[in-house]
Structure 1
Amino acid sequence: MSGDETAAIDAFEQLGLTSYEAKVFIALHRLSAGTARDVADITDVPRSQVYSVAESLEDRGLLEVQQSNPIRYRPVSVEEARETLRSQFEREQERAFEYVEAVESEPEGEETQENIWTVRGRDRVDDRSVDILSQAEHRIVFGTRLPELVTPSIERTLAERAAAGVSVSVVSGRDAVREQFAAVDGVTIERPPAHRTDDQRSGRIVIADDDSILLSVRGGEDGETAIWSSGSLFASVLIQLIEASDEMAVE
């Protein structure tokens, strides 16, 4: 068996055929038509197995059977087979994901799962920050000591939410950060409490409404790592603790 044929069989298996089904289907295209003996002569599929495999392929709509003696088999055209497998794959995909969606929407009793997630890498942290900010409906607090963490997407999202009527506060001890928002309507600029000391590992903090939060630190192989939670009791309690202790600001 050539490498190309092995790869083709592997591909057919990914489409839902068994190894024997793929081998018989390929063999029949090589023969144009043939008996179980003909197929067995050019494949490693035992003749006794060819009959059941051919029956399965017929059920799939991939070959036709001639009721002769001996029985002969003819494969459907390549285009017809391609369309048949594509339709079957799409139906199975739809059925699979319909079930997943149904399971996803089912309530899990009265237990509440606290979702606390970790993201690593500056770009991913930035994407998650934008996602949390963009969903804020009432208020936002964004804090960082590093101007480079106020990316264009962060700056744009804060300005858009402010324009939409969301209360937006930017907290930083750095002039460069505060100056980025000096001319943005609706954004309140604040300094951190005087008692805060400079923390060289601090990254950024994002608070959206009263139930979404992201906290990041700089350093390590990933450059920036954050934990975040949204719509959870954990997020609500952590926000209250941070605000009560003046930790919302990043010096």
Structure 2
Amino acid sequence: MPARPNLQTVVLSMSAQDAIAALERLGLSNYGARVFVALQQLGTGTAETISDVSEVPRSQVYGAADDLVERGLVEVTETTPKEYRPVSLGAAREQLTAELERERDRAFENLDAIRDEAANQQGSQGVSTLRGRQPIDERIADLLASATEVAVFVAPEADSLSTEIVDALRARASAGVAVTLVTATAALQDRFAADPLEVIVMGEDNPADFAGRALMVDEATILLAVATGGDSVTEEALWTAESSIGRILAAFMQSGMASGRERNSDGESA
């Protein structure tokens, strides 16, 4: 009868494979991960013993182990032959976590730089489109934050205002930007009563039937958003900044606001 496999050995082998795969995802090379796992089993090992356990060619163990030493994950004893010993798992965890955080920060710093470059070139990019309520809310808040002189936001209902949009409206108004909120919801006047921004409540006879949300920033940036399905998740938007079409749309938007103000004024005087 053939010998039954040692269940403990099988489990340890599977754990080692999982650990190697996880360490690779954390940034170690395959050989580096294999050497580090082998050292957890050995405690201390030479290139030869590490090679036997890790199945890494002995000639490659030296480079992989030296890389682990440089990363603060392994200690080396200058004996003949050299012996390698892993740092504690707690120290290794902190070291790898710190490396991941540095790489994360570096990645997003570069992404920020890329987006800034793209924003500077926006005038030549024409019209951009967005889909989904959350991305559109974020874009509206970002565009509001860029306002230096004028910002007009058309919000048919209270639900049209996310927390980040409200914060952006208040922040720009407090910074001295001429902020106007156009709505069909009279209750929003009370909500912003203590804020230095103008709230215009359009009457029911206003010809602009509030097809959706709209934003104008500094008379050159425009965002238009409409619901394309039965819920806000399917909201779609287009926006353009510092472009000819943006200035044209801004002119139409200003004309509509002037008309709305006039109609409201006539209604109040009547």
How does the TM-score come out when normalised to structure 2?
A: 0.65
Structure 2: runs of 5 or more not aligned: 1-11, 261-270
Residue of structure 1 in register with 2:6 after alignment: none
For residue 200 of structure 2, give the secondary structure of its aligned residue in structure 1. Answer: strand
* Distance across 2 between alignment mates of 1:95 and 1:152: 29
* Distance across 2 between alignment mates of 1:139 and 1:111: 19
Give the % identical residues: 32
Alignment of 1:64-103 (within 5 A): 64-68=76-80, 71-78=81-88, 79-86=90-97
Residue of structure 2 in register with 1:4 after alignment: 15
Q: Please, what is the CA RMSD of the aligned residues?
A: 4.3
Residue of structure 2 in register with 1:143 after alignment: 154
Residue of structure 1 in register with 2:3 after alignment: none
Deviation at 1:73, TM superposition (A): 1.9
**1:217 aligned partner, one-letter code:** V
Residue of structure 2 in register with 1:236 after alignment: 247
Q: Greater RCO between the two (CA within 8 Å, min separation 6)?
A: 1
Q: Is the 8 A contact 1:170 1:178 kept in 2?
A: no
Deviation at 1:213, TM superposition (A): 1.7
**1:63 aligned partner, one-letter code:** E
**Residue deviations 1:93-129 (CA, integer Å, cap 9, x gap):** 6666676677777799999533643333334433433
Residue of structure 1 in register with 2:130 after alignment: 119
For residue 206 of structure 1, give the secondary structure of its aligned residue in structure 2. Answer: strand
* Distance across 2 between alignment mates of 1:87 and 1:147: 43
For residue 152 of structure 2, give the secondary structure of its aligned residue in structure 1. Answer: strand
Residue of structure 2 in register with 1:133 after alignment: 144
CA 1:60/1:136 → structure 2, altered by over 3 Å: closer, same or farther? closer
How does the TM-score come out when normalised to structure 1?
A: 0.69
Residue of structure 2 in register with 1:218 after alignment: 227
For residue 210 of structure 1, give the secondary structure of its aligned residue in structure 2. Answer: coil
Question: Pick from 43, 47, 56: which aligns with 1:32?
Answer: 43
**Residue deviations 1:189-229 (CA, integer Å, cap 9, x gap):** 26489794747xx2111112212221011122633221223
Q: Which region of structure 1 is more displaced relative to structure 2, 125-134 or 83-92?
A: 83-92
* Distance across 1 between alignment mates of 2:60 and 2:127: 53
CA 1:103/1:216 → structure 2, altered by over 3 Å: closer, same or farther? closer
Q: Is the 8 A contact 1:203 1:224 kept in 2?
A: no
Structure 1: runs of 5 or more not aligned: none
Q: Is the 8 A contact 1:143 1:248 kept in 2?
A: no
How many positions carry a matched residue from both structures?
242
Question: Pick from 183, 190, 204: which aligns with 2:213?
Answer: 204
For residue 212 of structure 2, give the secondary structure of its aligned residue in structure 1. Answer: strand
* Distance across 2 between alignment mates of 1:164 and 1:123: 25
**1:24 aligned partner, one-letter code:** V
Residue of structure 1 in register with 2:200 after alignment: 189
